[in-house]
Structures are given as C-alpha cells and as structure tokens.
Amino acid sequence: MTTDRSALTSRTVPSMTLGDGTTATLTAPTPPADAASRFAITGNAVITGGAGTLGLTACTALLEHGLKGLMILDMNPSIAEQEITSLRIKFPAAKIITAQVDITNETSVDAAFSEAARTLGSVDILFCFAGIVGCADALTMPPAQFRKVLDVNTTGAFICAQAAAKRMVSQGTGGSITFVASISAHRVNFPQPQVAYNVSKTGLLMMKNSLAAEWARYGIRTNSISPGYMDTILNEGDGLIEHRRIWADRNPFGRMGAPQELAGVVVLLASPAGGYINGADIVVDGGGVVF
C-alpha cells in the first residue's frame, strides 16, 4: 500500500492495553493448588503438527494430565493414524479429533479452529509444533525457499495463534499459547547451514514477546519452548551420521534429546503451575546453548 508521506503526520497509532492484575482482565494471581491440581490440564487443546513425533508426545502428556478435548491439526494427520487410534483407546474419556490443514492458509485455519470450538466446546490451549526445515548454502539458496520456510514456521504460527486467541477472547476464559522455537533461535547451528530456519525460529521469540504483552489483558499467556537436537526421524539416516556425532560431541550431555523429555515443560506451560509464566522461552537442550 502506497502512503503519501505528508499524511504520516496525521496518522493515528493504536495503543496497547495491559492487564491490571484483577479478575476483570483475567490477570489476578493464580489460585493456590495442591500438588495434584497444580499440574492438572483442563479444557481443550489444539496441537499443530500434532501428527509428528514431538506433537504426539505433547498430545500424550496433556491427555495424561487430564485434557478433555484435543484437535490434532496437521498437513497429513493420516501418517499417525495408528498412534492417534491408540490415544483414543488409552484415553476414552477424551474427545480426540483431527483436521488436515495448511497453516499458511488463514481461511482453512479459521475453519479448523471454529470446528474445534464447536466440537470440543472451547479452545483453551494451543501448541504450535508445525514447521519445516531446510539446509541450504545461503549463497545458492533460492529466495523462494527462504520465503517458504518463514511462511510456514513464522507466519503460519501467527495465523494459528491469532485464530486461537480470537476464540479465547470470545470465551472470556483466557488460555495458553506456546510456540515451538528452537536452539536455532539462540545460536548458529553447526555444521549444517540453515539460515532460513534460524531466522524463522528467531522470529517466533519476538512474536512470543509481542503477543505476551498484547494479549495478557485477556488472560492469555504466550510462551515458547526451544528444543535442542531431538532424536526423531527427522534427524535420522545414514547421511546424518557425522552430523549426529558432532551435535552430541558439542553437548554437555553428550547426546541428543529424547522426545519425552519435552513433556514436562509442555505440561508446565499449559497448567496452573505456569500461571505467572508469560513471555518466557524455555530451552530444553541438555545445555547445548552454553557453548
């Protein structure tokens, strides 16, 4: 959009409103809770990229702690059909639904969140695991590839967060939104070149900060998790043997992370135990970022 520079002096800039620490803005202190209820998960969640290994791990952890409704949102949820069926069998009291959605398409995302609110009753928790990675030399990487990574990892996360926040505000009950960033948002990876991925994950950290400030007055907490190298299928294969060795050698633990090692922070951020955690990034990497 082209704007006449002379018109800039008469423009109106929106102002942010913060919470006031009262129940009216859903920012009052978290009520005291016993050990069992402190980490209890209530309400319903949407997990993007929920058919992947880390997404399924999060789904399982939330269900184990009492989640009543779950939408697994993925480009291809059928790849985890067996695992999702197992979740339904293991947690018969929970309503578990799926949706095949491209998170860069705001119309499709909005429809999915409307379905989640209608079918489950509300949208109270969002975890954004959906993302893509591409390792490419910055000198030869096509700009289109750079744009695609940012479109999925950063813009797609915003589209989903906005859709979730609209439902949370309408419900008047607050909620929890968590982006899945990466240690790639904190330092340059070695030895693989992946500038687009690193930039996309760094963007999530500032987006998390901005939304934590803007949406706190609605009782919405916005945080992020930055996993290190996790031992999933995405990091397997003969072509990665030397990379895996380097990643392990440069970590104080001397190994990659196991998917279940993210479960604790997932439950923390979605439960009353995380009631005053807002705008935070929790690194789960065995200490890899200390080097």
31 domain-assigned: no
Instruction: Identify whether 182 is a catalytic site residue.
Output: yes
Whole-angstrom Cα Rg for the chain = 20
Identified catalytic residue from 201, 218, 224, 226: 201
Instruction: Identify whether 201 is a catalytic site residue.
Output: yes
156 domain-assigned: yes
210 domain-assigned: yes
291 domain-assigned: no
20 domain-assigned: no
30 domain-assigned: no
pLDDT tens over the chain, length 291 residues: 556 777 777 788 899 999 999 998 899 999 988 988 999 999 999 999 999 999 999 999 999 999 999 999 999 999 999 999 999 999 999 999 999 999 999 999 999 999 999 999 999 999 999 999 989 999 999 999 999 999 999 999 999 999 999 999 999 999 999 999 999 999 998 898 999 999 999 999 999 999 999 999 999 999 999 999 988 766 666 667 888 888 888 899 999 999 999 999 999 999 999 999 999 999 999 999 988
Identified catalytic residue from 68, 176, 184, 197: 197
137 domain-assigned: yes
Q: Residue 99: which CATH number?
A: 3.40.50.720
The domain in which residue 177 lies consists of 36-283
Identified catalytic residue from 182, 200, 224, 226: 182
Q: Domain tally for the chain?
A: 1
56: Cα separation from own chain's centroid = 13
17 domain-assigned: no
